[in-house]
Structure 1
Amino acid sequence: MTIWYIIDLAGTSVFAISGALSALSKKIYHDLVALFFVGFLTAVGGGTVRDVIMGAYPISWIRDPAYLIVILLSVLVAVAGRTWWRGAFRRPLVFFDTIGLGLFTILGMQKALHSGVNGWAAIVLGIITALFGGVIRDTFVNDLPLILDRQLYVTPCLTGALLYQLNASLGLDPTLNVIVSAGLITLFRLMAIRKDWTLPRIEN
């Protein structure tokens, strides 16, 4: 068990929680099985799309049952603590989504680079890893995908991915590079929400 594996499971957990919280926020009937599948799709959707594009088989959650166990436990935590989440964080869905965004962008890049793809493709695949689970989640629960939100969403991922590449070229310790780059994505996204940062719109 490596630090990267643990971080990957941590990212899987926070995205599973965000998926379950998203489903719970809907004023419709939901059961544990439905919540598990929303959490599952959120947690593994982006990584699955990335691995299919790269032809990396078998896909990690198919090969390793730990991912499904982590997702199930995370959904149970989200359900059991749903009242606490609302009290602890004003917008818990955004909080967990943002943490997952930072972790999965960088971990997705790492996996792509280790598979031998070029640096620019690795950036795109890292962003796909981070975004597509959320897109699937939002589509599944009939929300506007956050990727289309007016506040910056893709831009923080791109910024952190570029920083990761720069730090790697400068020989920064890989673990520290993950922490710094994922931290930048998370902080950038949270600040964009708080300060209502946007890019100029292109009008029709």
Structure 2
Amino acid sequence: MTDWFHWINLAGVAVCAVSGTLMAYQKRMDGFGVVVLASVTAIGGGTLRDIVLDIPVFWVQDTDYLYSTLVAALVTIIWLRFSPRFPYHYLLIADAFGLALFNVVGMEKALIHDAPMVVAIAMGTITGVFGGLLRDVICREIPLVLNGELYAITCIIGGVAYAIARHYGFESQWCVIISLATTVLMRLGALRWHWQLPVFRIE
């Protein structure tokens, strides 16, 4: 795998570890709880992806991801010591960027292992949403993926944007940038303007 893919994967792990640590802070967990929640958020989606793809689990193969998780959690804890007011909007922003980063990482890894594009989009979505889903379930919160505003669908739209860019011959780095921008903007727009999918209503 190229260096840029490795670093973007590490960035996704770190950002999701931050969101897990912020949630642990909100729930007033102890140090062990912080590590567990940060780790589940950071590596849960990628673990499921690798199991489904029947390939070695990424953090078992490369312990840099565990170190990235621990460092991100530690830095966040230190920051919260000096700014004790819980920044819930930062949690949502960190989650949006983690969602986008893991989405492209999941797609890239699936494509590297010769998966069809539709499977790659599914793997990107799983990588993006599953860690956050586990985090919210552990904290007894309604998972963001089920909370009304666009969430998993932003990964799918970002995946489609990646597929279109790839179809028209863009280099891999540009496909990643286009997908990242699409996913982040869609998610932040959903948070700002409460975009939702239509639902069935009982009259």
Which residue pairs with 1:111 in the alignment?
A: 109
Which residue pairs with 2:52 in the alignment?
A: 53
Q: Aligned with 1:177: secondary structure?
A: helix
In the alignment, which of 153, 163, 171 is matched to residue 165 of structure 1? 163
Which residue pairs with 1:9 in the alignment?
A: 10
Query: Where do 1:71-90 residues align within 5 Å?
Result: 71-82=69-80, 84=83
The alignment yields a C-alpha RMSD, in angstroms, of 1.6
Say whether residues 1:139 and 2:137 are aligned partners.
yes
Say whether residues 1:39 and 2:68 are aligned partners.
no
Q: Aligned with 1:81: secondary structure?
A: helix
- Alpha carbons 1:16, 1:75 under 8 Å: kept: yes
Q: Deviations over 1:129-177 (max 9, x none)?
A: 0000000000111111001111111121111100101101111121121
Q: Deviations over 1:98-152 (max 9, x none)?
A: 0011111111001001111111111111100000000000011111100111111
Which residue pairs with 1:152 in the alignment?
A: 150
- Alpha carbons 1:86, 1:92 under 8 Å: kept: no
> Tell me, which stretches of 5 or more residues in structure 1 are unaligned?
none
Aligned length: 200
Q: 1:85: how far off?
A: 8.5
Q: Aligned with 1:183: secondary structure?
A: helix
Counterpart-to-counterpart distance in 1, 2:4 and 2:154: 24
Q: Aligned with 2:121: secondary structure?
A: helix
Q: 1:84: how far off?
A: 4.0
Q: Aligned with 1:45: secondary structure?
A: helix
Q: Deviations over 1:1-41 (max 9, x none)?
A: 70110010000000000001011111x4x222210110000
Which residue pairs with 1:195 in the alignment?
A: 193
Counterpart-to-counterpart distance in 2, 1:174 and 1:137: 31
- Alpha carbons 1:103, 1:182 under 8 Å: kept: yes
Identity of aligned residues (%): 34
Change (3 A) 1:35 1:132: same
Change (3 A) 1:86 1:168: farther
Q: 1:54: how far off?
A: 0.8
- Alpha carbons 1:85, 1:92 under 8 Å: kept: no
In the alignment, which of 44, 68, 71 is matched to residue 70 of structure 1? 68
Structure 2 counterpart of 1:170, which letter?
A: Y
Which 10-residue stretch deviates more, 89-98 or 45-54? 89-98
**4+ residue segments displaced more than 3 Å:** 83-87
The TM-score normalised by the length of structure 1 is 0.93
Change (3 A) 1:168 1:85: farther
Q: Deviations over 1:38-64 (max 9, x none)?
A: 00000000000010011012x110111
Q: Deviations over 1:69-120 (max 9, x none)?
A: 1100100111111254858x66111010000111111110010011111111
The TM-score normalised by the length of structure 2 is 0.94
> Tell me, which stretches of 5 or more residues in structure 2 are unaligned?
none
Q: 1:203: how far off?
A: 2.7
